[in-house]
Structure 1
Amino acid sequence: MDADHHAKGYWYGKDPVQKEMAVDVLNALRDYRVSEQAMRRRTRSSMLMGEKDLLALRYLFEAEADGRVMKPKDLGERLGITSASMTTLIDRLVESGHIRREPHPTDRRALILRATPASDQEVRHTLGGMHRRMMDVASALSPEEAAVVTAFLRDMRQALDTVDDENTVDGGAGRGEPGAAAGDSQPS
Structure 2
Amino acid sequence: MESSRAAGVHDPITENIYTGSQTGFPDDLIDCSELSAPDRKQIAEVMNALARLREAERALSEASRRFMKLSEQDMRALHYLIAAKRQNAVVTPKMLSVHMNMSAASVTKLINRLEREGHVIRKLHPSDRRAYALDVTAKTARSARETVGRTQARRIHAAADLTTGERDAVIRFLDGMTEELSLSNADWTKQL
- TM-score of the aligned structures, taking structure 1 as reference length: 0.82
Determine whether 1:12 maps to 2:20.
no
Aligned to 2:56: 35
What residue ranges of structure 1 are gaps of 5+ in the alignment?
A: 175-188
Of 133, 136, 154, 1:112 maps to 133
Structure 2: how far apart are the matches of 1:112 and 1:53?
Answer: 17
Structure 2: how far apart are the matches of 1:4 and 1:104?
Answer: 50
What residue ranges of structure 2 are gaps of 5+ in the alignment?
A: 1-11
SS for the counterpart of 1:119 is helix
Aligned to 1:164: 186
Of 147, 152, 157, 1:131 maps to 152
Counterpart of 1:115 in structure 2: which amino acid?
V
Structure 1 segments, 4+ long, off by >3 Å, are: 2-6, 15-18
Alignment check: 8 A CA contact 1:163 1:172 kept: no
Residue by residue over 1:41-88, the C-alpha shift from the partner in whole angstroms, topping out at 9 and shown as x without a partner, is 111111111112111111112222222211101111111011111011
Counterpart of 2:20 in structure 1: which amino acid?
K
Alignment check: 8 A CA contact 2:60 2:148 kept: no
Give the CA deviation at 1:164.
3.1
Give the CA deviation at 1:94.
0.6
Q: Which has the higher contact order (CA 8 A, sep 6+)?
A: 1
- TM-score of the aligned structures, taking structure 2 as reference length: 0.80
Determine whether 1:96 maps to 2:126.
no
Coordinate RMSD, CA, aligned: 2.0
